[in-house]
């Protein structure tokens, strides 16, 4: 019995990195809902995501100026310049920002695409695009919402004996089709 293994050629990773980077267009950002496991990756792809949704895509150096003490745009930009000098492909800004701050970050950024995380209370994709953002990412927001739903549904079932919180969830057949990658899910 012979087992055949298919491996991705080493040259394919740089090509994928170039393709992924080409999707980062200021003012017309790539939007990544971000998957956290196989099932969510299939659901995100089925929803029409243009890329796998993995935050780093396995082949990009992205600077994330951490906001430990809520630095202003000047601090974020000075870090971005240092990260660009070190070879970063983009800067990733976490936290809810107003449009003016995002515009200042985009205008002052070294020649790197500005990537912004979204979640409850953040600007919309259209507002971020208007500010010149090149990438919009849900990061962990969708997973956090799913875990929140799991907690609410579990409490409801345990405390009230009902399952109304589960209304609107994906049905088993749809998830099974996505996981099996059958033609009916396309």
**pLDDT, tens digit, 9 for 90 and up, residues 115-140:** 999 999 999 999 999 999 999 999 99
- Model-level pTM? 0.77
In eight-state DSSP terms, residue 17 is H
**pLDDT, tens digit, 9 for 90 and up, residues 76-96:** 888 888 888 888 888 888 877
- Other beta carbons less than 10 A from residue 24's beta carbon: 19
Per-residue model confidence (pLDDT) at position 17: 83
**pLDDT, tens digit, 9 for 90 and up, residues 90-113:** 888 887 789 999 999 899 887 889
65 — pLDDT class (breaks 50, 70, 90): low
Residues in the chain, how many? 186
**What residue spans define the domains of the chain?**
21-140
**pLDDT, tens digit, 9 for 90 and up, residues 8-24:** 555 687 888 888 888 99
Those residues with Cβ within 8 angstroms of residue 79's Cβ, 6 or more apart along the chain or in another chain: 63, 65, 71, 91
How many whole angstroms separate alpha carbon 145 and alpha carbon 132? 27
Per-residue model confidence (pLDDT) at position 79: 84
Q: Which CATH code fits 21-140? A: 3.20.20.60
Per-residue model confidence (pLDDT) at position 9: 55
SS3 assignment, position 157 = helix
Per-residue model confidence (pLDDT) at position 142: 95
> Residue 116's beta-bridge partner residues?
93, 136
Q: Work out the percent of the chain whose per-residue pLDDT is above 70.
A: 80
């Amino acid at each position: 019995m012979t087992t055949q293994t298919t491996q991705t050629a080493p040259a394919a990773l740089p090509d994928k990195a170039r393709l992924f980077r080409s999707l980062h267009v200021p003012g017309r950002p790539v939007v990544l809902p971000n998957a956290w496991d196989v099932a969510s990756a299939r659901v995100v792809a089925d929803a029409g995501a243009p890329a796998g949704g993995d935050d780093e895509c396995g082949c990009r150096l992205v600077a994330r100026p951490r906001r430990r003490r809520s630095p202003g745009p000047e601090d974020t930009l000075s870090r971005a310049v240092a990260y660009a000098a070190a070879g970063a492909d983009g800067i990733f800004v976490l936290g809810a920002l107003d449009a003016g701050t995002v515009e200042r970050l985009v205008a002052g950024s070294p020649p790197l695409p500005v990537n912004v995380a979204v979640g409850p209370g953040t600007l919309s994709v259209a507002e971020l695009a208007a500010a010149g953002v090149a990438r919009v990412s849900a990061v962990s927001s969708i997973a956090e919402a799913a875990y929140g739903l799991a907690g609410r549904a579990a409490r409801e079932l345990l405390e009230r004996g009902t399952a109304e919180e589960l209304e609107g969830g994906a049905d088993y057949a749809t998830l099974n089709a996505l996981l099996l990658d059958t033609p009916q899910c396309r």
